[in-house]
Amino acid sequence: MSRITETQIIRSLLVNLARQRGFVDKFSNEISTGLKAVKPGDTKNAGTIAQFQATLQKVDNFKQRIANVIGLLNIQDEVLSQTNDLLVRAKEIAEQGANETLSTDERSFLAEEVFALRDQLINLANTKYQGRYIFSGLADDQPAYSQTTSFTNPSSGDASIRYAYTTADGSTSTRSVKVTDDISVTVNTPGSTIFNNALYALERLGRALAGYKTEPSSGAPDGSGDPYTFPDEFSTQTQDIQNALDLLETARKDDVMTERTDLGGRIARLHAAESLLDLTSASAKEVASNLQEADITEAASNLTQAQTALDASMAITFRILNQSILNFL
């Protein structure tokens, strides 16, 4: 049977003393930090905690992305709201202009406001968000609409100006953004599908009121169109004004309001995704908290017990060491 030496006993006592000191430090740290896991090695659940922390970081990133997308879509919705109001005003002018009690000069005066509305529409279609054009598809470094060639008649003035949607690469494409692991949302719509018909209707209305036909009679104007011959074509002018009124209402309902409805659906999806992320975040925080955060009452009790054990170990160790020194002397 092997004999336990005094040195082994002392070494064992010192090891136990260090272990007891470690417990005191551990529970003291729990009380001071409120955490039972500060470093990865402090708990066997370190890997699980790291996974939940990664989940929380991903959730925060998704929520920030959702906030940015909602901001973008809200800007688009505001633009469409103003576009709707603009087209309603244009319809009022068209209804007034279609009244044959007005003279050609009075109709020409109304044309000035219509062209101002057209220019306002172009400004709305060229709205920027965070330095990018929001209605230019993927070609968002280019304005959606710009002045191109002119109408042949007249040769100058507001009635001669033509605007066209950009033909830059990507201008007819959309962009989708992933807002959760499973949900993606389209964040833009090419302006041509929203504003083209409204623009064409405003051009036709303004030119008709100003005294000019617009060819062809439907679709995108090709830049041609002769002046009306008055008084013979006064009724033709009236009919063209009425046709423009119908085109304005069609563009408002089928393009602008349809897009607003779609935008509302996308914004609702984003808010729903945000709610799901909030639930995920709350759940992950709760689990991570249970794994990582200390029970202060329990930690205080453990500290008292550990300190008592440490004091006892120190007393025993010092007594044995003193005896060993006396024996040596």
- 273 and 299 in a single domain? The answer is no
Query: 284: number of CA atoms within 13 Å, CB side?
Result: 19
- Rounded to whole angstroms, the Cα distance separating 277 from 183 reads 11
User: Same structural domain for residues 170 and 311?
Assistant: no
> Does 53 map to a domain?
no
Domain shared by 200 and 176, yes or no: yes
CB atoms closer than 10 angstroms to residue 119: 14
Let me know whether 297 and 209 are in one domain: no
Q: Which residues are CB-neighbours of 329 under 8 A, at least 6 positions away?
A: none
Tell whether 23 and 148 lie within a shared domain.
no
Q: Are residue 23 and residue 86 in the same domain, yes or no?
A: no
In a domain, 55, yes or no: no
Residue 31 lies in a domain: yes
Q: What is the pLDDT along the chain (329 residues), one digit of tens a residue?
A: 455 566 666 666 666 667 766 666 665 665 665 555 555 555 556 677 778 778 889 999 999 999 999 999 999 999 999 999 999 999 999 999 999 999 999 999 999 999 999 999 999 999 999 999 999 999 999 999 999 889 999 999 999 999 999 999 999 999 999 999 999 999 999 999 999 999 999 999 999 999 999 999 888 999 999 999 999 999 999 999 999 999 999 999 999 999 999 999 999 999 999 999 998 888 776 776 666 655 567 656 765 776 776 677 677 766 776 665 555 45
The overall longest dimension of the chain from CA atoms, in Å, is 137
213 and 317 inside one domain:
no
Structural domain boundaries, residue 315:
6-36+293-328
Do 31 and 174 lie in one domain? The reply is: no
Same domain, 175 and 318: no
* Amino acid letter, residue 30: E
Residues 164, 28, single domain; the answer is no
Residue 262 is assigned to a structural domain of this protein? yes
Same domain, yes or no: 137 and 232: yes
In a domain, 41, yes or no: no
Residues 115 and 221 both lie in one domain: yes
**How many domains, the chain?**
2
Are the beta carbons of 201 and 218 closer than 8 angstroms? no
The answer to whether residue 179 is domain-embedded is: yes
Note whether residue 57 is domain-resident: no
User: pTM of this prediction?
Assistant: 0.77
- Residue 87 placed within a domain: yes
